[in-house]
Structures are given as C-alpha cells and as structure tokens.
Amino acid sequence: MKVAVVGATGMVGEVMLKVLAERNFPVTELIPVASERSVGKLIDYKDKQYPVVGLSTAISMKPDIALFSAGGDTSLEWAPKFAEAGVTVIDNSSAWRMDRSKQLVVPEINASNLSNDDKIIANPNCSTIQMVLALAPLHKKYKIKRIVVSTYQSISGTGVKAVKQLENEMAGIKGEMAYPYPIHKNALPHCDVFEENGYTKEEMKLVRETQKILNDNTIAVTATAVRIPTSGGHSEAINVEFENDFDLKEVRTLLHHTDGITLQDNIDVNLYPMPIYANGKDDVFVGRLRRDGSQPNSLNLWVVSDNLRKGAATNTIQIAEYLVKQNLV
C-alpha cells in the first residue's frame, strides 16, 4: 500500500503521519509530498527517513492512496490529476465538500456510501465532524428539526501562523498577525472570511455540511463560530430541537454506545468535556446534557474534540482504513 501525504510538512500533515503510525495503517511505502521549497527535506516515519517530493513526482510514483492537506487551491488543481492516474484521494480541504458528485464522509455515519467509483473523497470541516458524530444517533432516533450551535475554536485550526501569534503575545513579543486583533486574553467572533449573508465561511460549513452528511436538507442550522486562545481542541455549545420527544437517560445510553464518542456527563463530580481532555485523543467528548425548558423536545449539549485529529487527520485515515477493509483501493 503506497500512501502519499500531500502537505506532509504542514500542521495537519504532521499529525496524519503520527496517526498513520499509531494506527498501524498498512503503509508499504510512504511518499511525503510538499511544495517545491520543501522538496528533499527528510521526513521521519517509523524509524525510517523519506525524502519530500513534489506533486508531479508523487503522481509518477503511483501511490494507491493520497491524503491531501495542502489547501483548497492545491486540491482543486491536483486531486483530479491524482484521480486520473488511478489514485484514490481523500481531501481535507473545503474544495470538494459541497460538490454533488463527491462523498462527504464521517466513517461512523456514512462510509457505506463509498464505492470503487469514488476517486476523490471529501473530509468534512473539523467543527462539523464533531457535531454530526454526536448528533447522528439522536437524529436517527428523534429526528432533528433545528440546530443552534456556537463554537469555541482553537487557534490551531488557523495554522502555524496563529499558534505563533499567540505565543508571541503571551511572551510580549510583536510579530506577524494571523488575526486582525490580538487573540491572547481575547475571543474573536470571526472564523474564516465573511460571506454576503453576514455569516463566516466556517459558520456556513456547519450548515451545509451537516445537511449533506446527515442526508437531510430539512434540518435547519444556524451557527456562530468564535476563535479562542486555546492551543488544541474545538468546543461547541449545541441546542437541538427534535420532532419527537426524548428521554435524557436514553440519550445518554445512545451516546455511550456510539463509536467514537466518549460520554463525560457527571456534574456531581464536575465531569464534563474540555479541550485539555480531548487534546491528543481521537474520540469526540460529549457532556452537559440537559433538557431545554424554554422549547419543546429540545436538548442542550457540550461537544469537544481535538480538531487536528478527529477533526482532520484521524477522520481522513479512518476513511482510508474503510477503503482498505472493503477492498475499494
């Protein structure tokens, strides 16, 4: 199994390599791929070193799978070229997510939609993945009418430049700014760029991707995405209105038995999800479950996940694992 990691020197690419090793993905040959300025750099993987190559060279090496995390423009240009060469691409950018001809996959929810014909597969946005993983079993049981979600997102979702900005501000150093304002001791209600409707792209991803993954365009979603000065892990306050009433004990049981979910919901001992728990882990953590007394059939919950792992690298590799298991590559 030849595996190319496109964007291997980036933040998510580095985590992809780590997760591939941790999960013992059947890599017989690793092909780290990055921009021309990184070509020749050596990447460590499982006690061996592999030289970084460019995109054209990577295609000529005929990988079976290419894991893309190099930005939307790169994906739009190069994913089709890899696919034409017979490579199955799993793309972590936003480039293909809303393309009707491409599958948008969270393996625990809809991997069964995949077939041999899917040569470019889209990985959802990090904030969407953790939300839909928590809500999918509840939607199946009670049918979701409306979701109101507020996110509290780590600077690592923006990238290395944002991490450096926070580090500089904490140290009192003036440096390059990833955000239009300081992030240290601050909260910015501004994730990604603003669209014409006044919402950010990040907020609209939560709307559009949720409907596509859950295969239900009747679900109403409204979102506010906020950047906070945490170094790893996104948190979400979610209010869900169902068509049918629910029992809280049954909700807890459903979540407890959902693959990829860890239930942390015991306020008697102050047990609830936090980024400090989720950091470096693959599960999505759910807690603070409580009925919304202001609205019929409505539930509040708090959902936290490591945005670089389940929100990006791990979900991508889980898709690849499914493809291998089903002999689709």
Active site (catalytic) residues: 126, 234
Sequence-ordered strand ranges (E) for the chain: 2-6, 29-33, 42-45, 48-51, 65-68, 88-91, 120-122, 144-153, 220-227, 234-242, 261-263, 284-291, 298-305
CA 239/CA 126 separation, integer angstroms:
19
Q: For tokens 């919304």, what's the residue?
A: 292
Amino acid in the structure at residue 153: Q
Return all residues near 227 (Cβ < 8 A) that are at least 6 apart.
153, 155, 157, 158, 179, 183, 187, 188, 190, 191
CA 275/CA 296 separation, integer angstroms:
30
Q: Shortest CA distance to 109 belongs to which of 213, 210, 261, 207?
A: 213
Q: Shortest CA distance to 278 belongs to which of 238, 239, 236?
A: 236
Q: Shortest CA distance to 108 belongs to which of 240, 217, 206, 255?
A: 255
- Backbone φ and ψ of 83, nearest 5°: -60, -40
CA 232/CA 136 separation, integer angstroms:
24
> DSSP secondary structure string, 20-62?
HHHTT---SEEEEE--GGGTT-EEEETTEEEE-B-HHHHHHT-
Dihedral of the CA atoms 75, 282, 248, 250 (nearest 10)? 100
CA 42/CA 19 separation, integer angstroms:
18
Strand 65-68 relative to strand 88-91, pairing: parallel
CA 228/CA 185 separation, integer angstroms:
8
Q: For tokens 């809303």, what's the residue?
A: 98
